Amino acid sequence: MGSPALALARTAGRLSRRLGRGGGTSLPGKILLRLQPDAVGDLGAGLPRGAGIISATNGKTTTSRLAAAALRAEGWPLVANPAGANLMSGVATALVEGVTRRPSPVAALFEVDEAALVEVARQLRPRVVVLMNLFRDQLDRYGELDRLVDDWVRMIDGLDVGTRLVLNADDPAVASLARRGDDVVFFGVDDTAAALPGLPHAADSTRCWNCSAALDYSAVLVGHLGHWACPDCGLRRPEPDVRATSVTLHGATGIAVRVDTPSGAVEVEVPLPGLHNAYNVTAAVATAAAFGVRLERIGPALRGARAAFGRAERITVDGREVVMLLAKNPAGANETVRTILLDPSPLDVLVSLNDRTADGNDVSWVWDVDFEPLRGRLASLTVTGDRAYDLALRFRYGGFPGELVQVIPDPRRALDAALARGDRRAPLYVLPTYTAMIELREILVRRGAAERFWRDG
Ligand SMILES: [Zn+2]
C-alpha cells in the first residue's frame, strides 16, 4: 500500500507521543485516512486471519480485552485498539502501528463505537462481527435506539458473504438482526439463578422488533436482556449456540462462568464482578471460537485477563482499595449498583457526574438509574463532578438521608474526603461517568497509585 502515507502517519504518531499529546491513539490514523481514505481496507486485507469488530452500548471494552487475550493465547500476534480509541481514526491508528511490529500481526480485533460501526465495517470488511447489546445512551449524541438498529441493519446488508455474525440472543433488538442465510452464532446466558424480579423501570427495548407487541419475559437478567418471547407473532429468543449454563457471583470481586459451546465446555473465572460480566465472558468465548481459537486456550487466557481501564479496576491508594466501576448510562449504572450490593458490608461510595462531550451533555439519565436499593446499605456517599449538585438532588429525591451525602464538586477534594470516610479496610466504590473516570484516574496516576497506559500483549 501507499508507503509514503503510512510513513508520514507513523512519524506523526511518534511525534505526538513525544509531545505527550494523548498517547498518539488517533492522530496517525487521522493523517493516514486524509492521505489515503481506503487505507483501513488495505491494511485489514493484509491480515491472514482477518479482522473482528465488537460493538455494544455496554461491555465492548471488557469483552474486546477478554477476546484479545484468547487470540493471543493461540499464539497469534494481534492488532487491537486501546479503550476509547474506538472510532475510524482509532482503528486506522492501531493498523498503522501494527504494520511495523515483528512478528507481523495475523489478526485484528477492534472495539467499535455503535455509531461508527457502519463506516468501520464498510471499510475494514471484517471476518467476524460481534454485536452485544443496545441500551439507551447519550440520546443527544446518538438519537433513538431505532436509528442505531436501522444503521446496524444496513451494516449487516453490506457485509461480505461468509462474514460470521456473533449476536446476543438475549437482546431482542440484536437477536432480531439475524436474517435467513446469515452465518450466525448466538450467545446468551441460560442460568437464570440471578435473574431480576422484573424489568427495570427504565428498560429500553421491550417491544417485539417484528410486530411491536410488548414482549413476555420468563427471565430478566440485565436491563432488557433475558429470555424473551413475543406473544403475538411468535418471535422469540433464539436458542444460543454459546451459552453460560452456570454463573456464580463471587460478591463484588468476580464471577465464575461455565460456557457451553458446540465443541465443548469451558470454565472461566474472572476478577470482573456482576451478572453483566457473564455476558462479556460469554461473548468473548463466542468471539474467540468464531476466529477458530481452541477451547483449551480460551479458559486459561480469560482467567489471566485483567480488568480494563476503569471497568471494575482495583487500585490501592494510601493503603485503601479503590474499585472504579464506570457508570455512564442507566443500564450500566443499574448493573454497577447491583454489583456493589453483592458486597455485604456497609458501603462507601463516591459518584462522579460530568456532562462533557464524551459523557453526553444531558444528565437527566441519572433520574432513570435505580439508586434506591443502596438506601440503608451505605456507610457514606460522596458526590462530585461538574454536575455534583444534580446528583445531590437525585439522591435527596431518592430518600437518602442528608447527613449521609457529602457534596464536593472538586474531584480531588472529593476523592480525599471519600477515602477518609468509613472503614479503611473496606473498599471505596467509585462510580464515574466517562470523563470523570479519566479525571479521577489521572489524579491516581499522579499519586503513583495507577498506571497511565495499558501495556497489552
Ligand atoms: Zn412480535
The pLDDT of residue 82 is: 84
Grid coordinates given for 89: 481514526
Q: H/E/C letters for each residue in the chain?
A: CCHHHHHHHHHHHHHHHHCCCHHHCCHHHHHHHHHCCCHHHHHHHCCCCCEEEEECCCCHHHHHHHHHHHHHHCCCCEEECCCCCCCHHHHHHHHHHHHCCCCCCCEEEEECCCCCHHHHHHHHCCCEEEECCCCCCCHHHHCCHHHHHHHHHHHHHCCCCCCEEEEECCCHHHHCCCCCCCEEEEEEECCCCCCECCCCCCCCCCECCCCCCECEEEEEEECCEEEEECCCCCCECCCCCEEEEEEEEECCCEEEEEEEECCEEEEEEECCCCCHHHHHHHHHHHHHHHHCCCHHHHHHHHHCCCCCCCEEEEEEECCEEEEEECCCCHHHHHHHHHHHCCCCCCEEEEEECCCCCCCCCCCHHHHHCCCHHHCCCEEEEEEECCCHHHHHHHHHHCCCCHHHEEECCCHHHHHHHHHHCCCCCCCEEEEECHHHHHHHHHHHHHCCCCCCCCCCC
Gap from CA of 236 to ligand 1 centroid (Å)? 8
Comparing CA positions, the residue from 244, 213, 241 lying closest to residue 228 is 213
Q: What integer pLDDT is reported at residue 225 of this predicted model?
A: 96
Q: Using CB atoms within 10 A of its CB, is residue 371 exposed (0-12), middle (13-18) or buried (19+)? A: buried
| pTM metric for this prediction | 0.93
Q: Give me the pLDDT at residue 428, please.
A: 98
Give yes or no for residue 449 having a pLDDT over 70.
yes
Q: Mean pLDDT over residues 339-345, rounded?
A: 97
Q: Indicate if the pLDDT at residue 305 is higher than 90.
A: no
Q: Answer whether residue 28 shows pLDDT above 60.
A: yes
Q: What is the pLDDT of residue 354?
A: 97
Output the CA 57–ligand 1 centroid distance in Å.
24
d(CA 60, CA 91): 14
Q: What's the average model confidence in pLDDT over 432-444?
A: 95
Ligand 1 center–CA 154 separation, angstroms? 21
- Check whether 143 has a pLDDT greater than 70: no
pLDDT for res 24: 56
Mean pLDDT, residues 197-223 taken together: 90
Chain segment 106-119, per-residue pLDDT in tens:
999 999 999 999 99
State the pLDDT at residue 141: 54
Q: Name residue 317's amino acid.
A: V
Ligand 1 centroid to residue 207 C-alpha, Å: 8
Give distance in angstroms: CA of 201 to centre of ligand 1.
Answer: 21
In the predicted structure, residue 41 carries a pLDDT above the cut 70: yes
Ligand 1 (single-atom ion) residues, CB below 5 Å: 208, 210-211, 213, 230, 232-233, 235
Contacts of 291 (CB under 8 A, 6+ apart): 49, 50, 52, 71, 107, 127, 128
Whole-number Å distance, alpha carbon 220 to ligand 1 midpoint, is 18
| 58: pLDDT strictly greater than 50 | yes
Note whether 259 and 302 are within 8 A (CB).
no
pLDDT at 22: 54
Predicted confidence band of residue 456 (pLDDT cuts 50, 70, 90): very low
Residue 21 — pLDDT band, cuts 50, 70, 90? Answer: low
User: What is the CA(238)–ligand 1 centre distance, in A?
Assistant: 14
Per-residue three-class SS string for 42-77: HHHHCCCCCEEEEECCCCHHHHHHHHHHHHHHCCCC
Q: Ligand 1 centre from 55 Cα, in Å?
A: 25
Q: How does residue 455 score in pLDDT terms, banded at 50, 70 and 90? A: very low
Q: Are 137 and 50 in contact (CB under 8 A)?
A: no
For residues 130-146, give the mean pLDDT. Answer: 77
Whole-angstrom distance, CA of residue 54 vs CA of residue 113:
9
Cα separation, 64 vs 74, whole angstroms: 15
| N-terminal to C-terminal alpha carbon distance within the chain | 26
63-99 tens-digit pLDDT: 999 999 999 999 999 999 987 789 999 999 999 989 8
pLDDT digits (tens, 9 = 90+) for 232-291: 999 999 999 999 999 999 999 999 999 999 999 999 999 999 999 999 999 999 999 999
Q: Cell match 436474517: residue?
A: 179
Domains of the chain: 47-85+101-303 (3.40.1190.10), 311-445 (3.90.190.20)
Q: Does residue 341 register a pLDDT over 50? A: yes
Of 64 and 7, more confident: 64
Report which residue type is found at 383.
V
Residue of higher predicted confidence among 71 and 359: 71
Q: Percent of the chain at pLDDT above 70?
A: 95
CA of 118 relative to ligand 1 center, distance in Å: 26
Please tell me the distance between residue 169's alpha carbon and the centre of ligand 1 in angstroms. 15
Angle between helices 60-73 and 295-303 (to 10 degrees): 120
Question: Distance from the CA of 368 to the center of ligand 1, in angstroms?
Answer: 27
Give the model confidence (pLDDT) of 373-410 as tens digits: 999 999 999 999 999 999 999 999 999 999 999 999 99
What is the overall mean pLDDT for the chain?
92
| More confident call, 402 vs 142 | 402
Strands 428-432 and 320-325, bridge-based pairing: parallel
Report pLDDT for 453. Answer: 57
pLDDT category, 20, cuts 50, 70, 90? Answer: low
231 pLDDT band, cuts 50/70/90, is very high
pLDDT of amino acid 414: 98
Beta pairing partners, 429: 323, 349
- 191 Cα to the center of ligand 1, angstroms: 25
CA 409-415-416 angle, 5° bins: 115
